[in-house]
Structure 1
């Protein structure tokens, strides 16, 4: 009788351990997903920033002409 009670207690403890480990793993997954989302947000921001840098400068025609002249002079 005692032996089976002891076995049942051990079984219960193993189940609790598995449950706790499962909860920890789920928490780690949520953290990874959150970090991934944050990283992809940063990546999108970097893409938008580089897109803005590639856009033609908005300004008067003479400013753009001056920019082109400077570019030509550098080459």
Structure 2
């Protein structure tokens, strides 16, 4: 007994094949989407890391600048003190000489 099929009908085997094909394609699409998402996340992470690195660098630079400034200020203070001391000694020396001449 032969079974005649109409043009729009598929055999069970063909239907099963189509289903698996569709499933495979869906899985491929899902995988692709996931990969895209992962790539995006990696890119964002990289960007964030770069930003963080820059921020830290700037912080370090600022810290170093402040250190240098402090050092310079200290040096200047020392120099001023030294100058004052020298001036005082000079004055004292002058006074002593005057006193010696008077005697």
Shorter-chain TM range is 0.7 to 0.9
TM-score by length of 2: 0.56
The aligned counterpart of 2:98 is none
Mapping for residues 1-75 of structure 1, pairs under 5 Å: 1-55=28-82, 56-58=85-87, 61=90, 63-64=91-92
Question: Whose radius of gyration is greater, 1 or 2?
Answer: 2
Structure number with greater CO (CA < 8 Å, separation at least 6) is 1
Show structure 1 runs of 5+ residues with no match. 68-75
Write the distance in 2 (CA, Å) between the matches of 1:32 and 1:65. 50
Show structure 2 runs of 5+ residues with no match. 1-27, 96-103
Closer/same/farther in 2, CA of residues 60 and 54 from structure 1, 3 Å limit: closer
Write the distance in 1 (CA, Å) between the matches of 2:35 and 2:92. 82
TM-score by length of 1: 0.75
The alignment of Structure 1 onto Structure 2 pairs a total of residues equal to 66
CA-atom RMSD, angstroms?
2.3
Write the distance in 1 (CA, Å) between the matches of 2:89 and 2:70. 32
Write the distance in 1 (CA, Å) between the matches of 2:78 and 2:69. 14
Displacement over 4 Å in runs of 4+: none
